Structure 1
C-alpha cells in the first residue's frame, strides 16, 4: 500500500538540515510501525513538491536511508520500505510517555465482567461446540449476495446513502409486522416496532428507557451475561432470580420489582421452556404488582421438535410486555439486526434514544435483509437450519448417552444448545482449557452465573457451528477429558 504524501510535513523548530529532517521523518515512521515493509514511499518529485524543497534534497535523504537498509529501490518503480529495516520496538515502550492516571480519569467502568470467550479463529478448531456462530455450509450466501447487490441499485440509492434520522427501512418494518411477529401471535403497527443493532442493543435501549437508580430490575440466574452488564450500567437495583426446570418462577419475584427480564421460550443458558400455565401466572403477577416484562425471544425460529409456546407478548392484554427479537441466530450474528415491539409511547422514547446514540442501523443492511426476507430466502434458510439442527441434535443425544455426559437442560421445542453438568470435582473452566489444546471448544458456565453463586460444574455445548460428522468424535474427546479430570481429583 502506498504511503500518502500528506503523511509528511516539516517542523520549523527542527534543528538540522532539511535532508536530515526528511531522513528522520521516514526512519521515525518505520520505527514507530506506521510504515511497514513493502509499502511504497512518495516519489522524490512528489514529496519535494509537497514539502516545498528541492528534489535533490529528497533524493539524497532517500539514498542515505537506503544505505542504512531502511529503504530499497526497484528500478524506476520507486522507493519502498525495506524488509531489512529495523523492526519497531514493543508497543509498551512506545507508549511510555502516557502520564494520565486512568484509574482516576475513568468515571464509569464497563470492563472487568466475565464474558463468554469465543476465539476469533474458532473455525480452525476441529470440534467447535460454540453457540451463535454461523455455519457457512448452511447459509445461503448466493441469494444474500444477490439481495445485497440489488440493495446497491439506483432504486434503493436513498435507503443506502441518506441520513434517515430516526426512521427505519419501511420494507423491513412491513415484513416484521406482517410476517415475523404474527408467527408469534403478535400484532403491531409500524409505530410499535423499532429496528435495533441486534438483541443486545434492544436490551440496552429498553433498560435505559425503563430503569433509573431508584428502580428495581429482576432477571434470571443463570442468565445471558450481557443482561447483567446492561443492568449494572443502568445503576438500577438488580435482583437475580434462580430459575428451575420451567424457567423463571413468578412467585420468587419481589413485589417491589419494576421490570422483569426473561427468556421464556428458550431460557439462556439452561434451555428451559416456560410452560403456558407459568406464562399466564407471570402475566397475572405483573398485573398484580404493576411491573413490566421484557421478553427476549432470541431463538424462537429454531423450533424443529414441536411448535414453540405462545409468546408472552401474544398473551398480554395490558400492554405490559416489551418483545425483543433478533435475526442473529437465524441469519448470522455479524448482521447485527434485531427489533423491539412494544407500546407506542415506549417505542417513541427508545427511538429517540437510538437516534441520539447511533441514528439508525445501516440502511444498506436493512434493505438487504428486507429483500432476503420478502423474497422467501429467509423461510427457506430457516427450514434448512431446522433440518440440520434436528439431525445434529439426534447425533448429540446418541453420543452423549454413549459416553455418559449429563444434560442439565435442553429445549423442549428445539434450539441449538445443551446446558451440561460435569461430575463433582470437575472445574469446567479448567476443562475448557484442556479441551482447547485438543482442538475442542466448549463454553464454561461461570460467565452465566452470579458471582456470589457461581458454579464451575456447568458448561454449554452448542451444535449450530459444528458439522454432523464432527459431533461424535468431539463428544468422545470431552468425555475423555472429563474422565482425566476426575482421575486427577481422585488421585489428588
Structure 2
C-alpha cells in the first residue's frame, strides 16, 4: 500500500534544516502508527514537488532514515517503511486539543437531544433482546436482496447508479410506490406528489421545516416518538402536547390556533393505540373547520397479521390537508434509511427544494435496488414471512405476559412489533432495564417518550421483532421476577 503524498506537511514552527524537518515528519508518522511496516513512501521527486523543496533534500532525508532503520530501500521500487522500524507506543493517541475556544458559547444552536435511547451496539449478543426496530437476520431475505443489488450494479442501470438526480428520484421506485404501495393504504398520488427521503425521521424533519416557523403552533401526541419532539424543538416553533387515550389523539383536545398536527393514527407511538374511523373523520373535519394541516406517520402498517389495518388518514382526506409519511426502514431493515413523503404538489415542491440543499437525494443504487426488490415480488414475500413470525411471537408473548400477570398498557389492534407495558407503582423502568441487562435482557424504558420534565417512569416497551420465539417465555419470566423484586423494594422503602 502506498502512502499518499497529501498526508505530508512540514511544520512551519519546527526548528532545524529542511532535511532534518523532513526526517522528523516521516519518523513521527511511523512512531505515531500512521505509517506502517511495508507501506511505500512517495517518490523523492513527488515529495519534493509537494513540499516545495529540492529533490536532493528529500533524498538525503530518506537516506538518513534508511540508516536509522526507519525506512528500507528496494532498488528502483522506492522507499518503504522498514519492518524493523520502531513500533508506536502501546498507549492511545491523544485527542486533538480544543484550544482556547469556549464551545458552550461558540455553538449557535445546540442539537444534542436531552433524552435519548440507549441501544447497545451489541444488542444481538443479548439472549433476550426485547428492543424495537432492529432487523432479524433469520427473517431477512438476504439472497434476493443481494441479487437485486447486483442487478442494480449492472451496465443497464449505469445511469441510475452513477447519475446526480439533483432534486429528482428514481422513476422506477416512485412508479412502484404510486401504483402498488400507496393504493394499499387507499392513497392515489401522482409522481409530483411523492418525495423519497432518508427514512421517516428525515421526512418528518422536512415537513417541520417547510410547514412551521416561530409564529406557528404544532401539536404532537404525548407520549410520542422522541425524535419528533426534538425535531420540532429545533424548528423553534410553538409546541403543544396532547395526551393520547385508548383511541389515540383526541381531536377535541387540540388547542385553538393549531397550525400543524403530527399524529400516528394507525399505530400510535408508543402506546400502539389505533384511532377509530369516527375519530379520524372528526380530526379531518376539525382540520377543515380550523384550517390546520396534519402530518400522518403511518409506520408499521405492513405488520397487519391480526387483521387488516384501518384506512390511512390520508385516504379519507378530501381537501389535501394530510401529509403522509411512509418508510421501508421497518419492513426491510433500519440501516436502509429510505422513506417517502406524499402530499399536495406545492408542498412536495418545497420539500424537494429543501432536500436538494441538504443531501440532494437518497443514493441512486439504494433506490434502484429497492425498486427491483419491490417489483420482483420479494418485498411482499418478505412481509408475509415476517407477519407469520410476528404473529407466532405475539401469541407466545401474550401468553407469557398473562401467565406472569404483567400489566399491558397498550397493544396494536392489527399487529405491529411491540407492546406498551406498565410496571407496578414505585418501579423506575430505567433502573429495571439496567438490572435486566445483567441477565441478558434488553427492554426500552418509556420515560423518553413523554414530554414532561419529570415524566412517568413506570412504562416500558417490549418488542418482539428480533427475539426468537423460544426465548420469549424465559425472557418474560426474568422481567417478571425483576419487577416483583423491585416492587417489593419500593414498598419496603
Alignment RMSD: 2.3
- Partner residue of 2:51? none
8 Å CA contact 1:400, 1:475 repeated in 2? yes
SS in 2 for 1:308: coil
Mapped partners of 1:39, 1:334: distance in 2: 36
Deviation at residue 56 of structure 1 after TM alignment: 5.4
Mapped partners of 2:115, 2:33: distance in 1: 33
Mapped partners of 2:44, 2:479: distance in 1: 61
Deviation at residue 437 of structure 1 after TM alignment: 2.1
SS in 1 for 2:453: helix
Change (3 A) 1:4 1:448: same
Mapped partners of 2:194, 2:58: distance in 1: 64
Deviation at residue 11 of structure 1 after TM alignment: 4.8
Change (3 A) 1:444 1:60: same
SS in 2 for 1:248: coil
Structure 2 unmatched ranges of 5 or more? 49-54
Change (3 A) 1:385 1:25: same
Change (3 A) 1:83 1:247: farther
- Partner residue of 1:21? 21
SS in 1 for 2:475: helix
SS in 2 for 1:117: coil
Q: After superposition, where does 1:374-453 map in structure 2 within 5 Å?
A: 374-452=375-453
- Partner residue of 1:236? 237
C-alpha distance after superposition, 1:169-194 (max 9, x if no partner): 11101111000000000100101111
- Partner residue of 2:350? 349
Deviation at residue 466 of structure 1 after TM alignment: 1.2
C-alpha distance after superposition, 1:238-270 (max 9, x if no partner): 000000011000110012100000000000000
Match for residue 50 of structure 1 among 47, 52, 58:
47
8 Å CA contact 1:3, 1:40 repeated in 2? no
Q: After superposition, where does 1:318-333 map in structure 2 within 5 Å?
A: 318-333=319-334
Change (3 A) 1:153 1:221: same
Q: Relative to structure 2, which stretch is displaced further, 465-474 or 257-266?
A: 465-474
Mapped partners of 2:488, 2:113: distance in 1: 33
Change (3 A) 1:212 1:54: closer
Deviation at residue 319 of structure 1 after TM alignment: 0.8
SS in 2 for 1:340: strand
C-alpha distance after superposition, 1:208-263 (max 9, x if no partner): 11111000000000000011011111111100000001100011001210000000
Mapped partners of 2:107, 2:468: distance in 1: 44
Change (3 A) 1:39 1:203: farther
8 Å CA contact 1:14, 1:21 repeated in 2? yes
C-alpha distance after superposition, 1:48-91 (max 9, x if no partner): 7624235453243245365xxxx8999x9852586843135553
C-alpha distance after superposition, 1:354-408 (max 9, x if no partner): 1111111111100100000000000000000100000010111111112222111
C-alpha distance after superposition, 1:73-126 (max 9, x if no partner): 99x9852586843135553xx433521111111111111421222111111111
8 Å CA contact 2:174, 2:191 repeated in 1? yes
**Structure 2 length-normalised TM:** 0.92
Q: Relative to structure 2, which stretch is displaced further, 284-293 or 261-270?
A: 284-293
Q: Does 1:79 align with 2:82?
A: yes
Q: Does 1:160 align with 2:161?
A: yes
Deviation at residue 42 of structure 1 after TM alignment: 2.5
Mapped partners of 1:185, 1:83: distance in 2: 69
- Partner residue of 1:466? 467
